[in-house]
Structure 1
Amino acid sequence: MKKIKKQCLLLAALIAAGSMSAFVGCGPKGEQVDESKSQLYIGNMYAGWGNEWLYKWKEEFETLHASTSFESGKTGVQIWIDDQRDAYSGKSLLTSIASQTQDMYFTEEAYYYDYVAQDACAEITDIVTEDLSAKYGENGSIADKMNPEARDYYNLEDGETDRYYMLPVNETYFGIMYDVDLFMARSFFVSNQSTATSTKFTNNKEMFAAGPDGQTGTYDDGLPATYAQFYDLMKKMKDSSITPFIWGGKYASTYGNRFMESAWAAADGVAQMNLNYTLSGSATTLVESITPASKSYDGKAYDTSTVTLKAEPTTITDANANILQKQAGKYYALQLVSNIVKDETNFDSLAFSGSTSHTGAQTEYLYSANNPNKQRIAMLLDGTWWRPEAKATFENMAVEMGEDYSMANRNFGLMPVPKPTADMVGTPNTYITSNEAVAFVSAYCPANKLKLAKEFLQFCFTNNSMKDYTRITDATMPYAYSFTDKTEKASYTASLTTFGQQMMAIHDEGHIVRGYSSNQKYINNYSYFADEWDWRTTNSVVSGKYPFTMFHEKSALTAKEYFEGCYAHHLNNNLWN
């Protein structure tokens, strides 16, 4: 068929007049609608992860199916990507999807059960359970390689019949991003000559101490293994005229909550942290008592209190799960944050500025590497999506200051949250997913587009597509990656950035809290668990505010008081009475 070309200005005029849907027109490279091809329209929540990975998938799929007919009288495919942050965010999209015009979506923070209850997603069981050997030369299906916890959650099986409506896209974490090159230049890595009472530092890799995992030869070598070493590290930074931290002050409470959740998981481990979602199992880290203690750092008292655990495990059920508010990891997370934010020398002045967004903090962090008017900043509190999100800043710096400041030439890592005490060192580094991205086909996708939409969705979760995603974003996907042998895996790993290599190592180790719950009480009270469970405490303690803000504003407030307030708040909730 003859290729139909329309001028962009004409399309813009038609769109403005309401005679055409906004997704029809010229693409970012001047691409125009070819009516001889099937058209697929995708809504992408354009946030930290950007869209480079999605355009890669688009181009690969269009090439693969250049001669495929998905509709009578049409050959080939054109994929149109509409990037919007707010309109396609998980919560907003659920309220508007019936009036949206996209065939499928990539979004974040979309609560699966709400989407299914509202019939917002087309069923995709066939493409999730289909064997991929004939199409893509892979053994098994998407379901087969999906992380088992994710599979149990997303498979809403009815008796013996599988039911899938959505697929998880990535594994992302929130925590301490650190400048590896700065750590090397200033000898901020912990030395194996350190003792229990004296932390020594080095930039000699041969002398790096084992990190919190207690093993040498892993990605956390030289990083602080305990809270005590971490506090010593911050002191050394300040003694070296380096500011330890920055974060987006505009979202200080939100970012603080996410970081504390990471610290909670790091202290309690996967099995104990998962109790907060399953509401079932044996709790072994419940606090019996707290022994007060403190240590002075440059004249400021840091809370170093320790806990005594209950001697016997407690069986957790729907009836008594509120006792999980007494988990030791929760207390230690509060203690860590209180020590960081009560000492104003630990962070940049913009960290509590309401005008400093997360991207503003990223810019300050990156530019501090060559800013004569302020101190260098060593660490950023953010999500693992921050590097793609700061792509424009990296590019601007490369133009202004040279390629040494480009994303490709700067070296960053995710610091595992240290263990609260020395006796915990050697337990696995545990991470908790944050802002999980998902993909689904809209229930409102036209019937003549459904096959194409599902085919593209399946393509996105093939082995090669997954490898492209990780190479582009540094993020892994919650599926098993396939390699022909160790040599191929080593070659692929070497193609990743240092940050991407660490993400792959975390993926392979598998010590990840995914936050899935199929517990009916949790599902029925999702807003309570999502909004209150982690850090809501009695109003008499903090006037309804959250830890990051309150510890900063009320220096007399202790981690113990906040911790006990959390238990009191949930003890009095009608859900448990």
Structure 2
Amino acid sequence: MKKFICLLIAIICTMSFVACTPSGTGSGGPSGGGNSTKSELRVAVIDSGLGTEFAKEYERDFEDYYKGYSFEDGKTGVDVVLVPGLSEYASSTLIDTMETLDTTVYILDDLMYRDFVTQDRLVDITDIATEKIYDEDGNFAEDTGKDATLCIEDMMADGFSEFSRKVDGKIYGIPFRASVAGIIYDAGMFDEERLFLNENNQVGANYADIEEGNCSTGPDGVLGTYDDGLPNTMADFAYLMKEIAMDPSRIPFCFSGKYVYVRNHAFQAIHANYEGYDNYMLNYTFDGYDTGLNKQISSSNYKDLLYQNGRKAGIRFFEEIFKQQAYSPNSKYSSDQTQAQKEFIESVEAEKRIAMFMEGGYWESESRKVFDDMGAYNSDYGYGKRDFRLMAIPNFVGDEWVPDQVNTERVVRAAAPHGTNIVLSKYNTSPNPELALKIGKKFVQFINRRDQLVDFTKNTGGCVRCVEAPTAYTEAELNSLTKFGRSIYEYLNDGAKLAYTIDLADVRFTNPKSFSFIGSGDGNWGFACSIVGGSEFGDPLSVFLSSTKPTADDVFSGMVNFTKLQAPAER
């Protein structure tokens, strides 16, 4: 009996200990007292649709790199403890709790940057952001033996240095990520079913034809580039959708019916490509000359940007999808983004195969389990194995409603949430805050090394860091990415330009939530919402799918009216 009681007590104590221990991925768990032979670094990481695989690789690689290094007496190496979370890392919560937490590094999707800086929550990291420790390719110079010529700030994508210093001239955060989104197509299906366009702009080409040059030039009008075989104009794209739907075993599109922001990725991608880089970025700077509107834009008249014809192009695109009923029945109302992802991915084995998809850049990461489950019975279906690619946006010429597109520059929209940042907490409650800060700074510099930038996209599919490798990716680096991720860089290597959505205008920087209208997606002012027939809609397709029977003009005027009501006053 005594043995039984002792055993019962032991089991209860063990269960109590396990129940009271928070979860974490580091070898020492998420709280103190982990690996006593190593120094500890606690890293908070947002656990959203992006997933945490990228952070787990950060953890492994950083620990391996510093495995023989001693940051404090009696200990060698570092034990990185990841602390995933979601709601607890929302700005409205974290701004009050950050100074009570023992986490040093925060990798966050959405941070009210100005508020955190002015309320003294973040460490000034200008020192590590400007320290020239990288060589010409973005590697640690001390490892390659080359000259150290670059710092993190040098490698920040356009606009992020200005954003990071906007509060008081100092840098408190390293820009984190952007989602390259829009229209994704199943290139494997296009090849197998000869859905690429031939030299006469007719369906019937495959990869073999493209290699021989027996194909359309694509939107750029040049053979031998990324977009060969794709529709040149919106009329060609409309024709392609009809040809796909001619076969009852095929469906042109699927998308989320529940969350319109994923469809707005496509709307804004079309808007950006129609306008060109400079005109499109005026929506985020409110400072410059709009060549389409023929006027200077400033904070006093930024609402005139509502009349950019790129928005009409986006509306026209969705109108055509609606007219042709070119979508899966599940897409109209029922599917959330994960259901739509699953339908698109699994359609390869379904009665009706889906050719194209509207989504954000991290859809592959968010769908990793679907890929893993399919890969379990057919390795060709595993994560990163399928041939999905980013669709080059067609030109809008010869359309009755949309003025002919003048811009010939290929623009790819990279949606960066407001304040997407990697930051260090100024008041972390770790046992040795100074040591934690020292290691944390090393960690931040490490994950902005070239190989880590590549690996981030490898682990997220179509997301890119807002710190860019200074030279083009090698073939080996491209091969490490998913085929969708690789397609983005192939397009960029052919001259397409990334347009990062970043709040540089003062009115946007100080009032970011005022520009985060319903359905705009990723905290960006997408101008995609509309009021038609007294009802509010989150995107153009929602209006067309409704019972209001709108015209394209109705949607456009409703979009202008909605945004004028919601946007901060001009000044």
Give your verdict on TM over 0.5.
Answer: yes
CA 1:116 to 1:324, structure 2 compared with 1: closer, same or farther past 3 Å? Answer: same
Runs of 4+ in 1 over 6 A off after TM superposition: 7-12
Partners of 2:180 and 2:332 lie apart in 1 by 22
Segments of structure 2 that go 5 or more residues without pairing to the other structure are 1-9, 135-140, 399-403, 519-524
* Correspondence for 1:490: 475
For 1:71, give the aligned amino acid: E
- TM-score normalised to structure 2 length: 0.84
Alignment of 1:82-481 (within 5 A): 82-89=83-90, 93-94=94-95, 96-132=97-133, 135-137=142-144, 138-156=148-166, 158=168, 163-194=170-201, 199-203=202-206, 204-205=209-210, 206=212, 207-241=214-248, 242-251=250-259, 253-286=260-293, 313-343=294-324, 345-354=325-334, 356-372=335-351, 375-400=352-377, 402-421=378-397, 424=405, 427-436=408-417, 437-445=420-428, 446-474=433-461, 475-481=463-469
CA deviation after TM superposition for structure 1 residue 77, in Å: 0.6
- TM-score normalised to structure 1 length: 0.83
Partners of 1:152 and 1:507 lie apart in 2 by 23
Deviations for 1:430-474, whole angstroms, at most 9, x for unmatched residues? Answer: 122225553222233333311111110110001222233334434
CA deviation after TM superposition for structure 1 residue 408, in Å: 4.1
CA 1:426 to 1:526, structure 2 compared with 1: closer, same or farther past 3 Å? Answer: closer
Contact 2:532 2:548 in 1 (8 A): no
CA deviation after TM superposition for structure 1 residue 361, in Å: 1.2
Partners of 2:235 and 2:220 lie apart in 1 by 16
Partners of 1:47 and 1:538 lie apart in 2 by 28
SS at match of 2:560: helix
Contact 2:181 2:359 in 1 (8 A): yes
SS at match of 1:531: coil
Contact 2:530 2:561 in 1 (8 A): yes
Partners of 1:91 and 1:510 lie apart in 2 by 37
For 2:80, give the aligned amino acid: I
Partners of 2:152 and 2:15 lie apart in 1 by 40
Asked if 1:79 is matched to 2:80, the reply is yes
Partners of 2:361 and 2:60 lie apart in 1 by 26
Contact 1:214 1:425 in 2 (8 A): no
CA 1:55 to 1:537, structure 2 compared with 1: closer, same or farther past 3 Å? Answer: closer
SS at match of 1:223: coil
CA 1:146 to 1:281, structure 2 compared with 1: closer, same or farther past 3 Å? Answer: same
Per mean C-alpha deviation after superposition, the further-off stretch among 543-552 and 473-482 is 473-482
Partners of 1:184 and 1:404 lie apart in 2 by 16
1:524 to 510, 516, 529: 510
The number of residue pairs the alignment matches comes to 526
Deviations for 1:117-137, whole angstroms, at most 9, x for unmatched residues? Answer: 333322211111111156444
Query: What's the C-alpha RMSD, in Å, of the aligned pairs?
Result: 3.1
Deviations for 1:22-58, whole angstroms, at most 9, x for unmatched residues? Answer: 5598579xxx921121111112112333222222221
Partners of 2:124 and 2:388 lie apart in 1 by 40
SS at match of 1:35: coil
SS at match of 1:87: helix
Q: Percent identity?
A: 27
SS at match of 2:183: strand
Contact 1:279 1:316 in 2 (8 A): yes
For 2:556, give the aligned amino acid: F
Partners of 2:11 and 2:171 lie apart in 1 by 39
* Correspondence for 1:550: 543
For 1:544, give the aligned amino acid: E
SS at match of 1:476: strand
Partners of 2:365 and 2:69 lie apart in 1 by 33
Partners of 1:10 and 1:103 lie apart in 2 by 31
Contact 1:412 1:499 in 2 (8 A): yes
SS at match of 1:575: coil
